[in-house]
Structures are given as structure tokens and as C-alpha cells.
Structure 1
Amino acid sequence: MTSDAKLEQRQHDDAPATTSKTTQPDRALSAEAVTINRPAQELYDFWRDPTNLIQVMENILSIEQIDSTRSRWTVKAPAGRTVSWEAVITDDVPGERITWQSAEGADVANSGRIEFRDAGDRGTVVRAIIAYDPPGGAIGQFFAKLFQREPRLQSRRDLRRFKHLMETGEIATAARTRKRVEEETN
């Protein structure tokens, strides 16, 4: 079953993503959500341009826009390696959701969906669901966690950075970064 078919099957399963009966045992699944005090359309517009995402996704080395539905991603992997894939948008509902899957031949087969749901006076609930085939299976997933490169950990952090950027215009970091210390001492 392809990544897209698995995600489509998941869309019709009303169980929470982490307890879904349709999840494949060899496939890792991550579902994270955050409430952002901004309108859904504004958040969607930012996310719809994949080149914006390098600002909030820590492990992204590059994103190249190929056309309106395809982009090429290169990300950091454990042990100093990189992985690449072409992402193809398979469903796009402005202001509501974007669904994608990796094209054939991806270093890491993956698929996912980002949803934007109105939360009234609180803004918008942004939910990211990502399914992927970990290289090396369970052992590969273990090492990805060990090196802080596992998508579940990353999606939580990335959504937090997205929230900070969209609500404040900047991403909160340690008070004294190396760059700031160098600027202060010069």
C-alpha cells in the first residue's frame, strides 16, 4: 500500500491517529497539535509556501519549490547524513488543510497532513500528522531518537517554533546564543 493510500485510509478512521487500527506496524506515525493565536488563513498561507518552512523546521537543510504542487526537501539525518525526497501535494483546501506524500524513490518514504481548524477567540488549532518508513526499521528509529532526528520529536518542536514565529514574529531561543555572546564581546 502506498503512503498516500495509507494516509487516505487513515483519514476515514475516526480513532485518534496514535491509536488507529490502520497504522502499519513498520510505519512510524506522529500526530501533534498546537493552538496559535492567528487566523487559519494566515497560517495556511505561510505553510503553503514550502520555502517558508525552513524558518521553523530545525532539521531542514533546503527546500526547493519545483512547481505549485511539488518541492524537493533535504534534511539532516543521524550520524551526519542527509536524506532527500520530492514532496507532492495530493490535497489542498485553502485555509483548512494540505496533504502530501513523497514521490517514488524517496530516501525516506513519508506522507502527511497539516490541518488548520478555527478555535474561536483562541485562534487556530494546527495539527500535523506525519507517517514515514524509518530507514533501518526499529533500529533506525531508535538511532534517530538518540540523535534527536526522529520526526515525532521534531514535529513537536517545529510546531512550537511555528507558534512562536506566527504569534511574535520571532522564534524564542536561549537567552544567550553563541552569536549574541560574540556580538557582545566585540
Structure 2
Amino acid sequence: MARSEHPDDIERDDAPAFTSKDGAERGEAAPNGESSVSGVAVTINRPAGELYAYWRDFQNLATFMQNVQAIEVHDRDRSHWTVAGPNGQYEWDAIVTEDVDGERIGWRAENSDVPNSGWVSFHEAAPGRGTVVTSMIAYSPLAGIFGKLVAKVTQKEPAIQSRRDLRRFKQLMETGEIATTTPPNREPKS
């Protein structure tokens, strides 16, 4: 481990910068200068290539991303997104900035009220253990810290949503369905 410049000789580990409690270090993970960065990882019991292929067909993302209302794919590297936010609908054009077949997809938004960028990676876990899927999103919320607080209260903050979306992706890829806690519509028992 490398020595840190932090007080009390705290040593840094090799965890991704987006996991840091240090805001400056976490900010280094934002590829386009966004103010908020969040990352999450989950292990899915499927091959990396299969997960990558499902994700790379961007229209599939609306099947498990709760706030995504529509994705119009223009070509392999450009798509238009419509997403529900804390105070209405947001739209932007997403541009693929990195595409490593079977391993990683990166993007950045253009023409967006909420600047954002990020990536998702797919790495085989230990033999027989599936694939580690890691997602990082960087964004600048409208109205700064106040906008981020409103997004958290309404449960539409990207850090909250990315955890939930990856959990739903895991369920969908491992079982073919997404579990819900919503009770079925039933007639009351008499």
C-alpha cells in the first residue's frame, strides 16, 4: 500500500476513487468535472459476455432501470434518454465514449440540464462465481447540493437509483424476472 498524505498515517488501499470518503479524491473519479460521483458493484451469476451484450443493447436498460422512461437508440454510439427526476422529466443525448467488447462501456451526456457521465464494467469473478459488474456515475445536480438533497428525499438520486438498478439487473439476469414487494391485486377475503 502507498503512504497517504492524510493525518495519523492512514494508509490508502486500492479501492476505486469513487468509494473514497475524501471528497477531493472522489472528485478525481469524475471524468468531466461533475460535482457528485457514485459507484456500486454487484456479483451476478452469469458470464461477463452475456451481461455485456444485454447491457450494450441500450433499449434493454429500461427493463430494469426504474426511472428510465424511454431510450431511443440512434446508432451504436448515440442514444436519446428520457428519465424521471425529482421535479419532472429530464432528457439528454448519450454518447458512448468507451466500448471494450465484453468488458466495459463508458458514456457522457450532451445537451443535458443534468450533466452526467459514467461507465459500467464486467469482470469475471473467481471461477464459478459469475461476474462482478461495477457501475460509476458522475453528475452535477440542478441547484447544487439543494438539488441533490431533493433528489435523495424523493428517492431519485443517481447513487440510490444505481444501487437499486444493479440489484434489479442481477435479479433479471439470474432468474429472468424482477422481484417486487408490491402485493398482487386481490379481492379482500370475506
Unaligned runs of at least 5 residues, structure 1: 1-12
Runs of 5+ in structure 2 lacking a partner?
A: 1-13
Listed as ranges, the matches of 1:1-186 within 5 Å are 15-19=16-20, 20=25, 22-23=28-29, 27-79=35-87, 81-103=88-110, 105-119=111-125, 120-174=127-181, 176=183, 180-181=184-185
CA separation of 1:137 and 1:174: change in aligned 2, threshold 3 A: same
Deviation at 1:18, TM superposition (A): 2.5
Q: Against the structure 1 CA distance between its residues 146 and 43, is the aligned structure 2 distance closer, same or farther, given a 3 Å change threshold?
A: same
CA distance in 1, matches of 2:102, 2:43: 15
Task: Compute the TM-score of the two structures, normalised by the length of structure 2.
Answer: 0.82
Instruction: Please state whether the residue corresponding to 1:172 is helix, strand or coil.
Output: coil
Aligned length: 167
Asked if 1 retains the 8 angstrom alpha-carbon contact of 2:17 and 2:29, the reply is no
Contact 2:51/2:122 (<8 A) preserved? yes
Contact 2:44–2:131 (Cα < 8 Å) also in 1 = yes
Is the contact made by 1:26 and 1:137 (CA closer than 8 Å) also made in structure 2?
no
Q: Deviations over 1:92-115 (max 9, x none)?
A: 001100000012x21211110100
* Residue identity opposite 1:102 in structure 2: A
The one-letter amino acid paired with 1:17 is F
Structure number, greater radius of gyration: 2
Q: Is the 8 A contact 2:34 2:138 kept in 1?
A: no
3-state SS of the aligned residue for 2:180?
Answer: coil
Query: CA shift at 1:17, angstroms?
Result: 1.7
1:26, distance to aligned residue in structure 2 (A): 6.2
In terms of fraction of residues, the more helix-rich structure is 1
Q: Percent identity?
A: 50
Aligned equivalents of 1:84 and 1:157: distance in 2?
Answer: 21
How many angstroms does 1:181 deviate by?
Answer: 1.1
Q: Give the TM-score normalised by structure 1.
A: 0.84
Q: Which has the higher contact order (CA 8 A, sep 6+)?
A: 1
| Amino acid paired to 2:157 | E
Amino acid at match of 1:127: T
